[in-house]
Structure 1
Amino acid sequence: MILKNMEGSYFPDLEEVQIALIGVPEERAQVGNPGCGSGTDIIRDYFYDLFPGNYQARIADLGNLKLGHSIQDTYYALTAVCSELLSNQIVPVIIGGSQDLTYANYRAYEDLGQIINIAAIDNQFDLGENDEELNSRSYLSKIILHQPNFLFNYTNLGYQTYFVDQDAIRLMDNLFFDTYRLGNVRSDMKEVEPMVRNADMISIDISAIRQTDAPGNMNTTPNGFLGEEMCMITRYAGLSDKLSSIGFYEYNPDMDFNGQTAHLIAQMIWYFVDGFYSRMQDYPIDKKSLDYKKFMVKLTNQQDELVFFKSNKTDRWWMEVDCTATVKAKYERHYLVPCSYQDYEKALSDDIPERWLQAYQKLM
């Protein structure tokens, strides 16, 4: 069941709602993609044509956010809406609009005082130039530099090297952020699951999808993810107990052929919802629980053993990063790092998994 906020009707009761759709037709800070603020209702039409899965959905469509007099007003309004939803354990699903709206979504977690991880499915990092105004190509640098800062980790999935300056790649490495080239991600899509499971919020740029699958974007290119791969990624996002918001940005109906891109985004949202209603409440906070198996691996050059946990319910893996009690209290949601069986195998081969090392460097 989807409760809809329609003109002339009452605002939907959100008491038992778990997911809220929000359209944000804001494009004043778009770069190279004029028209991306006019597609929210087209995506909705395709989404409503899809049959629900085998679950009792509790979804509210809050309609389109009214744009502010200035773009800052729109950011403020979206932050306020997302903050209210998150504080009531409702997952915002944002249908943009340009990708700078990711910044407003991030600010909602600041309102809650929550340190988070962000994952972006994008063919570049969106760092922008020095002192550049906030826009769809510079929002990440604004998040990184914003004070107080509530970003623990940023993960990019699918960047294409010829779109990324080498200095930007070095900056990502120096910040101990996780960046994965398109070819490496597509070579083993199952490894995407722990990458996505580590995120609190996800931002999806439609230009990350190859042009033949999603022509509805002026910045789309011949290379990118396939449509079915994006549906796989959004289902992984839905399955993650940690993830609490997601945004779909940069859809441009002026460039779309026969509604192909809008239909794909609707299916991506469908797969996210399907994953959400398949969640298993699977997170090893109670390490003595019988729901998890504990594995200890001794490495030659490591004083302490690497600790892994495997869920008996889902067969998913985590690594524990050893740190002080004070650090654990501050980063209680981040010292347990989602991983895969391949990371465990790497440790058995006397090699430190890259994911463990990245988290350790940030926590230390």
Structure 2
Amino acid sequence: MDFNTLSPISDRLVESIELSHFQSLGRKIILHTKQSTPSLDGVSIAIFGVLETRNSVDHIGQSFELSEVRKSFYSLFPGNWNTSIADLGDIKNGASVEDTYFAVTELIKTLLENKIIPVVIGGSQDLTYANYRAYDTVKPMINIVNVDKSFDLGDSSKPITNSSYIGKVILEKPYNLFNYTALGYQTYFNAQEEIDLMEKLYFEYYRLGDVNKNIKTAEPVLRDADLVTVDLKSVKSSEVSIKQKYSPNGFDGKEICAISRYAGISNRVSSFGIYEYNPSADDESSSMLISQMLWYFIEGFNCRVQDDNFESTKDFNKYTVLVEGQELVFFKSLKTGRWWIQTPFLSFSNTKNKKYSLLACMHEDYEQAIKGNIPERWYKACKKL
């Protein structure tokens, strides 16, 4: 792997690790330092920073670093994990934003090809576009979940920004997006035209209040995701430091950590990013929140269970419900108790084979089907087939 596009962590951080508790995360993570570049053999999760903010609508030439986030993260203690984690340092900003995008795409592509989950801590959220493009030659169709106050669709005819990158994802070739989900959107931050477009494209969107009411509704959504991107502006201002404050409404620390754990525990999620970090003099709250989000993502990863292979009947229960002339087939894993619903046949142009696709759902969806209600996730998924 080429480390020329990456800056190692600072000597000051290395020194602080040497003074830390011998069981802290800093002592157990494989580090890219000035003295050594890490081998990624056996590594499952690779963390790296991207300090790019030039395409942010709020960019005023400011720069930042991730030292406080790393200091907080390294000070935490790992759970009962058997996962090898590496910190690759930070991707150097290119001469242009496109150069940075290219470096991000190539690094994530390399990690994905080596079955390593990239975890990005970044500046502006338009970096999600570079993450998405890394899948071009890795996986034909992917699902993106955006934990955000807004949809970030924007005007795709204009240059990409952190509030319009999803428009580029949808309309620019190659077309690799199957489903896009906005988790925790707040209506007053979104134009009605964008809400109408989300509905027209059969994309999913969950209001903040609905997720606040039952955080478990986020789990099936994240179980079906390939790429999860988190905008820190989705966290309410009381939870973060001065410069990070944005809105009095949003997810609290407990909820955003639960969402991070759901992303980690998903067998499908293969990349995770936390964006829009704005450090300040009193940075402790924001840096510690990001650290705990990382901790919960890794904790979730260590709890992954292969429970979605329904070939052996001893591993699941199958339920069939007739609703409005539609035969809905549900599966419940006996390993974890998680639920799925079967979607119609998918045809593949390069093969005569057909197969059913499974969509993650909740027990409540089965209960609603018994009452004669078709699950909305199932309906939208079928419309896209």
Could you state the TM-score of these two structures normalised by the residue count of structure 2? 0.88
2: CA distance, partners of 1:158 / 1:198: 17
User: What is the DSSP-based 3-state SS (H/G/I as helix, E as strand, rest coil) of the residue aligned with 2:195?
Assistant: helix
Deviation (angstroms), 1:324? 4.5
Residue number in structure 2 paired with 1:277: 302
Matched, 1:308 2:323: no
1: CA distance, partners of 2:174 / 2:275: 26
One of 265, 286, 290 as aligned partner of 2:314:
290
Equivalent runs, 1:1-364 vs 2, <5 Å: 1-9=28-36, 11-32=37-58, 38-129=64-155, 131-215=157-241, 217=243, 220-254=246-280, 257-284=282-309, 286-299=310-323, 301-302=324-325, 304-326=326-348, 335-363=357-385
2: CA distance, partners of 1:325 / 1:125: 30
Deviation (angstroms), 1:291? 1.2
Seen in structure 2, the aligned counterparts of structure 1 residues 271 and 211 have a Cα distance that, compared at 3 Å, is: same
Contact 1:201 1:244 in 2 (8 A): yes
Contact 1:36 1:251 in 2 (8 A): no
CA displacement 1:148-204 (0-9 Å, x = unmatched): 110000010111101100010000001100001111111111111111111101010
2: CA distance, partners of 1:66 / 1:56: 30
User: What is the DSSP-based 3-state SS (H/G/I as helix, E as strand, rest coil) of the residue aligned with 2:151?
Assistant: coil
2: CA distance, partners of 1:330 / 1:245: 31
Contact 2:54 2:61 in 1 (8 A): no
Name the amino acid aligned to 2:205: T
Contact 2:151 2:182 in 1 (8 A): yes
Deviation (angstroms), 1:38? 1.4
1: CA distance, partners of 2:235 / 2:151: 15
1: CA distance, partners of 2:177 / 2:251: 26
Contact 2:144 2:181 in 1 (8 A): yes
1: CA distance, partners of 2:92 / 2:371: 55
Seen in structure 2, the aligned counterparts of structure 1 residues 297 and 35 have a Cα distance that, compared at 3 Å, is: farther
Report the number of matched residues: 358
Seen in structure 2, the aligned counterparts of structure 1 residues 347 and 224 have a Cα distance that, compared at 3 Å, is: same
Seen in structure 2, the aligned counterparts of structure 1 residues 74 and 186 have a Cα distance that, compared at 3 Å, is: same
Contact 1:209 1:223 in 2 (8 A): yes
User: What is the DSSP-based 3-state SS (H/G/I as helix, E as strand, rest coil) of the residue aligned with 1:153?
Assistant: strand
Residue number in structure 1 paired with 2:21: none
1: CA distance, partners of 2:303 / 2:59: 35
| Coordinate RMSD, CA, aligned | 2.1
Contact 1:335 1:359 in 2 (8 A): no
1: CA distance, partners of 2:170 / 2:45: 28
Q: Percent identity?
A: 45
1: CA distance, partners of 2:358 / 2:126: 30
Could you state the TM-score of these two structures normalised by the residue count of structure 1? 0.93
Contact 1:210 1:226 in 2 (8 A): yes
Name the amino acid aligned to 1:241: N
Deviation (angstroms), 1:127? 1.6
User: What is the DSSP-based 3-state SS (H/G/I as helix, E as strand, rest coil) of the residue aligned with 1:195?
Assistant: helix
Name the amino acid aligned to 2:363: Y
Deviation (angstroms), 1:335? 2.5
Contact 2:149 2:185 in 1 (8 A): yes
Contact 2:347 2:353 in 1 (8 A): no
CA displacement 1:12-52 (0-9 Å, x = unmatched): 11110000001111111112265885142221111000000
Q: Unaligned stretches of 5+ in structure 1? A: none
Q: Unaligned stretches of 5+ in structure 2? A: 1-27
1: CA distance, partners of 2:341 / 2:223: 13
Deviation (angstroms), 1:258? 4.3
Name the amino acid aligned to 2:332: K
Name the amino acid aligned to 2:321: V
Name the amino acid aligned to 1:319: I
Seen in structure 2, the aligned counterparts of structure 1 residues 70 and 51 have a Cα distance that, compared at 3 Å, is: same
User: What is the DSSP-based 3-state SS (H/G/I as helix, E as strand, rest coil) of the residue aligned with 2:107?
Assistant: helix
Name the amino acid aligned to 1:4: L
